Amino acid sequence: MIKIWLIEDDSMYATMLKRQIEKNDNYHVEIHSKANDIVNGTLEFPDAVFLDYQLPGISGEKVLDYIRSKDSDLPVIMVSGQEDPTIAADLIKKGAHDYLTKTSETPRQLASILVKLERQLTVKKELSFLRSELKNKFEYSKTLGSSSAITKLFPLLEKAAKSNIHISLAGEPGVGKETVAKAIHFNSSRSSESFITAQLGSIRSDAFAEELLQKFKESYGGTLFLDEIAEINVYDQSILLNFLQKGSFVEEGEKIQFNSRIVTATNKDLKAMVRSGAFREDLYYLLVGMPIVIPSLKDRRSDILLFANKFKNSFCRRNELDILRFDKSAQEKLLDYNWPGNVRELKAIVELSCTMAEGEYIQADDIRFEETSITQDLLSKERSLKEYDAMIIEYFMSKYESDIPKVAEVLEIGKSTIYRMIKNKEIKNPKEK
């Protein structure tokens, strides 16, 4: 339903127009005979306005100014009892969508304008809904987690979203730097424009300038996410620096200004690279803007199950599977792991577990980690010395395929110690699994 205001002091004329307009069931017209109701009121604006130019008291021109000060995009069609090209031109300059003279043809003309506006208004409503959905989708706690380690960053992300300052994101591989960049973008005034990603590490040096220029053009008005910023060589760093310092490019003889928020990301220490000469100092200070360090998943353990359930549900829906659940053993296994690959690794392992599961529950055996170092497993949580001993022996038993003499030799312990621990079920023998 498209809501229309008819601001007209002639009640008979207004009623006639209302009847004509509402012959289309998609339109609902509200008549306002006094401009004061609009200017001094707190009414929610409609989708379009038909405004009489010659209102008593406050003029239609002042009402137009008021509407424009509150909503620069709201279509306002001015209707006047006199034909004056000069007034019409002035009102159009002030932002009126159209200007009509009151004649017997006015109802037909208004109907014609509405037909043209209807599609625009429908698209506008759809865009407004999509923006709202995107903002809700990228609500920080839903997107990034709710652990204390990550929620400490939320005030900083809010400040970033409300400004146009460049942002530099740092953190281990897989912590979700692009997700953070998108969350900032979709909570900013640039949310209706494009979010464009440039994987700098995968762009050939001989094509760097051309591809970078294309990315700047695609992200005009939006956000340009420069991932792997530390991977480009010093020559390509000079090209990027030149682009940013010029702030514009020429296309078909026309100079076009860059108008993108820059967000960079790296898992390396850029300051150390500047000190060693591997990264240009002038480019570093041009890009650093607001630095944000994203914590690792091992420092955000309360987010592990939150993300695991999110990835599980998404995978099941995409693949038309019944929504699975993690049993207690699976949850404990997820929480005990050190997640060296962070959120990216968690997503991959959860999706595999959904595929491997039988029945309605994901069990511990369905969760299969890539082979990791003993150090990562040992540090995943605090343990007693006896538990550490058992873990180390189990690791090497697995590595050497239960060759007890070999394990005893490597660890410089007696074979009898290993046999005793197996007998007492202090450790598991991989061959007996």
- The order of strands in the sheet holding 76-80 is 27-32, 2-7, 48-52, 76-80, 98-101
For residue 66, what pLDDT band results from cuts at 50, 70 and 90? Answer: confident
The pLDDT score that the predictor gives to residue 370 is: 66
pLDDT exceeds cutoff 70 at 377: no
Which tens digits make up the pLDDT trace of 109-118?
Answer: 877 787 777 7
Q: Would you state the pLDDT for residue 389?
A: 78
Are 110 and 50 within one domain? yes
The position carrying tokens 């959904």 is: 354
90 shares its domain with 169: no
Residues 6+ apart with CB under 8 A from 239: 208, 209, 212
Segments in 34-176 forming alpha helices (H) = 35-39, 60-70, 85-93, 106-137, 140-144, 148-151, 154-161
Tell me, yes or no, whether 91 and 191 share the same domain.
no
Task: Indicate the Cα dihedral angle 184, 185, 190, 191, nearest 10°.
Answer: -110
Cα separation of 35 and 167, whole Å?
Answer: 46
Q: Strand 223-227 to strand 261-266: parallel, antiparallel, or no bridges (unpaired)?
A: parallel
d(CA 178, CA 289): 17
Neighbours of 78 (CB within 10 A): 24
Domain that holds residue 203: 138-295
Is residue 312 scored above 90 in pLDDT? yes
Report the CATH number that the domain containing residue 386 is assigned in CATH: 1.10.10
Question: Is residue 363 within 8 Å of 330, Cβ to Cβ?
Answer: yes
Same domain, 289 and 309: no
User: Of 108, 133, 158, which residue sits at a domain end?
Assistant: 133
* Same domain assignment for residues 160 and 186: yes
Q: Is the pLDDT of residue 391 over 90?
A: no
Which residue, of 265, 280, 295, is where some domain finishes? 295
Exposure string for 255-282, b = 16+ CB within 10 A, e = fewer:
eeebebbbbbbbbeebeebbeeeebbee
CATH number of the domain that 342 lies in?
1.10.8.60
Whether residue 265 is found in the same domain as residue 278 = yes
Helix (H/G/I), strand (E/B), else coil: 428: coil
252 and 149 in a single domain? The answer is yes
At 314, is the secondary structure helix, strand, or coil? helix
The three-state secondary structure class of 384 is coil
**What is the pTM assigned to this prediction?**
0.59
User: 428 Cβ partners below 8 Å, 6+ apart?
Assistant: 394, 397, 422
Q: Within a 13 Å sphere around the CA of 30, how many CA atoms are in the beta-carbon half?
A: 16
pLDDT at residue 430 is higher than 80: no
The per-residue pLDDT of the chain, averaged, comes to: 85
Same domain, 118 and 163: no
Is 217 in the same domain as 318?
no
Whole-angstrom distance, CA of residue 229 vs CA of residue 178: 13
pLDDT band at 379 (very low <50, low <70, confident <90, very high): low
Count up the domains in the chain and report the number. 4
Q: What is the CATH number of the domain that holds 102?
A: 3.40.50.2300
**Together in a domain, 368 and 406:** no
- Which of 37-41, 303-307, 323-327 comes out lowest in average pLDDT? 37-41
Q: Do residues 357 and 389 share a domain?
A: no
d(CA 357, CA 367) in angstroms, rounded, equals: 9
| Stretch 284-293: mean pLDDT | 96
Q: How far apart are CA 272 and CA 265, in angstroms?
A: 15
The enclosing domain of 271 has a CATH number of 3.40.50.300
108 and 22 in a common domain: yes
Residue 264 · residue 221 · CB < 8 Å: no
What's the confidence (pLDDT) of residue 247? Answer: 83
- Is the model more confident about 237 or about 58? 237
> Which pLDDT tens digit goes with each residue over 252-282?
667 778 889 999 999 999 999 999 999 999 9
Q: Of the residues 242, 262, 295, which one is the last residue of a structural domain?
A: 295
pLDDT at 233: 93
